[in-house]
Amino acid sequence: MITENKDHIPPHKNITAALVLADGSIFWGYGVGATDTIVGEVCFNTSITGYQEILTDPSYAGQIVTFTFPHIGNVGTNDQDLESTVPAARGLIIREDITAPSNFRNRTTLQNWCTARSLVGISGIDTRRLTRRIREQGAPSGVICHSPDGTFDIPALMKQAQSWPGLEGMDLAAEVSCTETYQWSEKRWTLENGYQNNDTPKAHIVAVDYGVKRNILRCLATVGARITVVPATATAEDILALNPDGIFLSNGPGDPAATGEYAIPVIRKLLDSNIPMFGICLGYQMLALAIGAKTSKMHQGHRGANHPVMDFNTNKVEITSMNHGFMVDKDSLPDSARISHISLFDQTLCGFELKDKPVFSVQHHPEASPGPQDSHYLFDRFMELIAKHA
């Protein structure tokens, strides 16, 4: 492992990758995956499992993920733990070299999988040091350059990192959304049966895809929904014409405030229909904007699988999976909304419900993938709300 420096010359001849931050810091390491140069916001995730799900979560579009857990890649990759097929994380930063996979579900190494997906990574990085720096100074823009012959144009890489505009004000949801409407009936994976379909649906949910994770759709199918997934640009009329019993607003990448042109007016119209509605993460943030609340960029964000959240409906604490860099400002919630969930790490707002409409939403990821399953009850809560309003 080589610690960061500002010297433009690689410290030895085996170096095949560089991570260059906008402030000029250089971290040298070893290339993983595709031979390319990528730019994005450098964030960190503290989960100890689920790197494949994290890297395929469309909410990470525009981001480079630093894994704080040192052993990434040691269970290989498979075809089942994918959260999407659309572009998601741009790159990965890891501590240890990827070792030979050891898991009965493995199909191919993380190294080959990254190459096949055009994902660029760097290993050999002091991820503790990098994470401390993000905690102290916020998530920086950065570039990973994977160069097998060990040549790097550091000033050009620095310039590329500095000229990247950052996620604030950036709309990425429309880029990762599906373009055609489709049906979904697959339920959550089990060791005994793999993926099974829900063939006896109890309700029809229209899910608006701002970058939806497959496990959210699977959780909805598991609690009994038939799901129609529509593109982020679907109008309220398109959605209502499908005759939904419930409407779901998905997670997704980028700045929620940047979706104001297309998503917010649609959500406002949908609220008028009084159809039960549930939002997760970006969907929650956009719902908040639609009722007049405000969102802002967080200093370092929440990304991990051990975030404690309090549910005020039951006064129970749930350990949750999180992945967000923006938040809804608690004080900006209008009187029409009631706080339902709060982060016990930093007291930020994690959920609200509307007082006079069958609408609720959460900032965390109840579908997990990866992470603890404590929050699965929220999908049941949605189905109960739908049954009550049928």
Ligand X SMILES: NC(=O)CC[C@H](N)C(=O)O
Q: Who's near 349: CB < 8 A, 6+ residues apart?
A: 327, 328, 329, 330, 333, 339, 341, 342, 343, 363
Q: Is 323 a residue that touches ligand X (CB under 6 A)? A: yes
**Window 100 to 129, contacts with ligand X (CB under 6 A):** none
Q: Is 282 a residue that touches ligand X (CB under 6 A)? A: yes
Q: Which amino acid is at 242?
A: L
Please select the residue that binds ligand X; options are 33, 73, 325, 371, rule is CB under 6 A.
325
Least distance to ligand X, CB of residue 251, Å = 3
Q: Is 141 a residue that touches ligand X (CB under 6 A)? A: no
Position of minimal CB gap to ligand X: 281
Please select the residue that binds ligand X; options are 87, 254, 276, 351, rule is CB under 6 A.
254
Q: What is the full DSSP assignment across 287-350?
A: HHHHTT--EEEEEEEEEEEEEEEEETTTTEEEEEEEEEEEEE-GGG--TTEEEEEEETTT--EE
Map tokens 């993380």 to a residue: 110
Beta-carbon count within 10 A of 252 CB: 32
Least distance to ligand X, CB of residue 166, Å = 12
Q: Which stretch binds ligand X (CB under 6 A): 107-115, 247-255, 350-358, 366-374?
A: 247-255
Catalytic residue among 281, 302, 307, 341: 281
Q: What is the full DSSP assignment across 9-61?
A: S-SSTT--EEEEETTS-EEEEEEEESSSEEEEEEEEE--SS-HHHHHT-GGGB
Catalytic residue among 146, 324, 364, 365: 365
Q: Is 251 a residue that touches ligand X (CB under 6 A)? A: yes
Which residue number, 8 or 376, has a Cβ lying nearer to ligand X?
376
Residue 136 annotated as catalytic: no
Least distance to ligand X, CB of residue 14, Å = 36
Which residue number, 159 or 330, has a Cβ lying nearer to ligand X?
330
Q: Is 77 a residue that touches ligand X (CB under 6 A)? A: no
Q: Tokens for 358, please give them.
A: 């069958």
Q: Is 370 a residue that touches ligand X (CB under 6 A)? A: no
Residue 370: asked if its preceding bond is cis (omega within 30°), the reply is yes
- Alpha helix locations (H) across 103-207? 110-116, 127-137, 154-163, 173-176
Q: Is 381 a residue that touches ligand X (CB under 6 A)? A: no
Residue 281 annotated as catalytic: yes
Please select the residue that binds ligand X; options are 91, 224, 253, 371, rule is CB under 6 A.
253
- Beta sheet of 225-231, edge-to-edge order: 182-184, 225-231, 203-209, 246-249, 277-280, 359-362, 349-354, 337-343, 295-311, 316-328
Q: How many residues bind ligand X (CB under 6 A)?
A: 11
Please select the residue that binds ligand X; options are 45, 47, 52, 59, rule is CB under 6 A.
59
Q: Is 320 a residue that touches ligand X (CB under 6 A)? A: no
Q: Which residues bind ligand X (CB under 6 A)?
A: 59, 251-254, 281-282, 323-326
Positions marked catalytic: 281, 365, 367
